[in-house]
A and B are shown apart, each in its own frame.
Chain A
Amino acid sequence: EAGVAQSPRYKIIEKRQSVAFWCNPISGHATLYWYQQILGQGPKLLIQFQNNGVVDDSQLPKDRFSAERLKGVDSTLKIQPAKLEDSAVYLCASSLGDPNQPQHFGDGTRLSIL
Chain B
Amino acid sequence: AQKVTQAQTEISVVEKEDVTLDCVYETRDTTYYLFWYKQPPSGELVFLIRRNSFDEQNEISGRYSWNFQKSTSSFNFTITASQVVDSAVYFCALRLTSGTYKYIFGTGTRLKVLA
List residues of A whose CB falls within 8 A of some B CB: 33, 40-45, 48, 55-56, 89, 91, 93, 99-100, 102-108, 110
A48-B100 CB under 8 A given contacts A43-B45, A106-B44, A108-B43: yes
CA distance A40 to B102 in the complex (A): 21
CA distance A82 to B107 in the complex (A): 25
Closest to B42 in A: A107
CB contacts (< 8 Å) of B4 on chain A: these are 42
Our pick among B52, B102, B106 for the contact of A45 (Cβ within 8 Å) is B102
Interface-centre pick from A44, A45, A100, A104 (highest chain B CB count, 10 A): A100
CA distance A106 to B45 in the complex (A): 8
Does the CB pair A48–B107 fall under 8 Å?
Answer: no
CB contacts (< 8 Å) of A89 on chain B: these are 43
Our pick among B35, B43, B102 for the contact of A48 (Cβ within 8 Å) is B102
A108-B108 CB under 8 A given contacts A48-B102, A55-B100, A99-B101: no
CB contacts (< 8 Å) of A102 on chain B: these are 35, 47, 50
Closest to B99 in A: A56
Does the CB pair A105–B100 fall under 8 Å?
Answer: no
The number of inter-chain residue pairs (CB within 8 angstroms) is: 53
Does the CB pair A42–B103 fall under 8 Å?
Answer: no
In chain B, positions 72-115 with a C-beta closer than 8 Å to chain A are: 91, 95-97, 99-103, 105-108
CA distance A104 to B91 in the complex (A): 14
- A106 vs chain B, min Cβ distance (A): 7
- B43 vs chain A, min Cβ distance (A): 5
CB contacts (< 8 Å) of A43 on chain B: these are 45, 91, 105
Does the CB pair B43–A100 fall under 8 Å?
Answer: no
Interface-centre pick from B37, B44, B52 (highest chain A CB count, 10 A): B44
B33 contacts chain A at the CB level, 8 A cutoff: yes
Our pick among A41, A45, A48, A105 for the contact of B45 (Cβ within 8 Å) is A105
22 contacts between A and B (CB under 8 A): A33-B103, A42-B4, A42-B108, A43-B91, A43-B105, A45-B103, A55-B101, A56-B99, A56-B100, A56-B102, A89-B43, A91-B45, A99-B33, A99-B95, A99-B97, A99-B101, A100-B52, A102-B35, A103-B45, A103-B47, A107-B43, A108-B43
